[in-house]
Amino acid sequence: MKKILQKNEGVLRKKAREIKVSEIRTLKIKKVLKEMSTALEGQGDGVAIAAPQIGYSLRIFIVSGRIFEKDFVTNKQERFTEEQPEENIKEIKEKPKNLVFINPKISKLSRKKEWMPEGCLSVRPLYGKTFRSIKATVTAYDEDGKKFERGGSGLLAQIFQHETDHLDGILFIDHAKDIKEEKIPNEKN
């Protein structure tokens, strides 16, 4: 499994390169996506991961399908104090699929913003509060090279903003307040 890089690694501070649409379905990109998914699944508290976090300066992020499970939201209430909007929660029997965003661009952000608790797999064990829009829309390509648009609110909107920051070489600690160390819940390492 690929190691998740920490804040001092140079690749985390570089603007990641876009992927040509013709490259999306290549074995190279499939390998990167697989490594990203494996690294994300290996973290008990991870909700998303960007390619630079495992050493690839590519404009890709993955959102864990588990954020759409009702139990996930209930179990995370102590960390994510904002209720997850009902439109983002699905009660399903099978494991929800991870969402892949290639060359993502935020196309809309709500004017309304809130201070939200935030952490990062690459900034262990720091947590803080960030001022984020409560709704966001992203345009991107999926793993099959199909363009799509996805909106979200609450935690999903926060993830969109956090991960696109990663792709521009920005870490949440660059603009967070009340940063402190916290114990990592359910760490699987």
Could you tell me the strand order of the sheet in which 99-109 lies?
Answer: 48-50, 60-63, 99-109, 135-141, 147-153
Both tokens of 6, joined, read 């920490």
Active site residue 91: no
Q: How far apart are CA 119 and CA 125, in angstroms?
A: 8
Is the preceding peptide bond at 125 cis, omega within 30 degrees of 0? yes
Residue among 86, 163, 181, 182 flagged as catalytic: 163
Q: Which of 159, 126, 136 is nearest to 40 (CA)?
A: 159
Q: Which of 33, 66, 28, 62 is nearest to 48 (CA)?
A: 62
Residues with a known catalytic role: 163
